[in-house]
Amino acid sequence: AQKITQTQPGMFVQEKEAVTLDCTYDTSDPSYGLFWYKQPSSGEMIFLIYQGSYDQQNATEGRYSLNFQKARKSANLVISASQLGDSAMYFCAILNSNSGYALNFGKGTSLLVTP
Amino acid sequence: DVKVTQSSRYLVKRTGEKVFLECVQDMDHENMFWYRQDPGLGLRLIYFSYDVKMKEKGDIPEGYSVSREKKERFSLILESASTNQTSMYLCASSSSGTGKDNEQFFGPGTRLTVL
């Protein structure tokens, strides 16, 4: 079974600083995909970034980047130059090969950006 | 603009009532999903569907059923609502591509309270 672990229930970061949100995964599939989503207090799930297991480069999308270490089975999200609007829940997810195209989510990390 | 809509943002029902949660997507996606989100537990997959009239159980299907009569619509049914089904319900859809094409698009969520 595929599993995602997010060990940080809550994180604080000061505005304009960088922050790393941890994600480790467990899968026996040779090919897999990892997703990060943001959920603000309004509740909608917003896609941030994707990393494929065979991608040569670590994914980047604007201020978001992935520190993907395949051997360690980790896919940590790095947010650079934090903004107040980054305060939200962040979820890491892995594509579940046993459930069609469903995602297995971690329990999430709550990020609070302070002035 | 791509969109997944859910019939209600907030719903209050009584124990034993039959509850219908509706989800509609306008992206012609093959795959649709129902998740339940509870604090500290992340998102858990209830049911998914990869085609019209097809449905598969997810991780926590007990107490729920689903219906997919049209490609764009996926309904979640609580046959006899119970208080432990009080939760946030999220619908999502995705295409049957590869890699990042498996990105799931989420609806705004329905916060269901069962009294």
Exposure b/e, A76-97, CB count within 10 A at least 16 = b:
bbbbeebeeebbbbbbbbbbbb
Mutate to test the interface with B, among A25, A29, A45 (most CBs of B within 10 A): A45
Where does the pLDDT of residue B96 fall: very low under 50, low under 70, confident under 90, or very high at 90 and above? Answer: confident
H or E element at residue A36:
strand A33-39
Tell whether the model's pLDDT for residue B74 goes beyond 70.
yes
For A95, the 3-state DSSP assignment is strand
B2, pLDDT greater than 70: no
> Mind telling me how many Å the CA of A18 is from chain B's nearest CA?
24
Lowest-confidence region among A90-99, A100-109, B36-45, B68-77? A90-99
**Cα-to-chain-centroid distance, residue B38:** 14
Task: Give chain A's radius of gyration (CA, Å).
Answer: 14
Whether B108 and A43 lie within 8 Å, measured CB to CB: yes
Is B106 in contact with A38 (CB distance < 8 Å)? Answer: no
> Is residue A101's pLDDT more than 90?
no
Average predicted confidence (pLDDT) for chain A: 93
- B-chain CB neighbours of A99 within 8 Å are 45, 48, 56, 58
Interchain CB contact of B12 with A (< 8 Å)? no
Q: Per the CB < 8 Å rule, is A102 touching B42?
A: no
What number is the average pLDDT over the span B22-26?
97
Give A50-64 as a DSSP string.
Answer: EEETT-SS--EETTE
Q: Confirm or reject contact between B60 and chain A (CB < 8 A).
A: no
Q: Which among A94, A55, A62 has a CA at the least distance from the CA of B102? A: A94
pLDDT digits (tens, 9 = 90+) for A4-56: 999 999 999 999 999 999 999 999 888 899 999 999 999 999 999 999 999 88
pLDDT band per the 50, 70, 90 thresholds, residue B38? very high
Average pLDDT, integer, range A75-95: 97
Q: Do B109 and A43 touch (CB under 8 A)?
A: yes
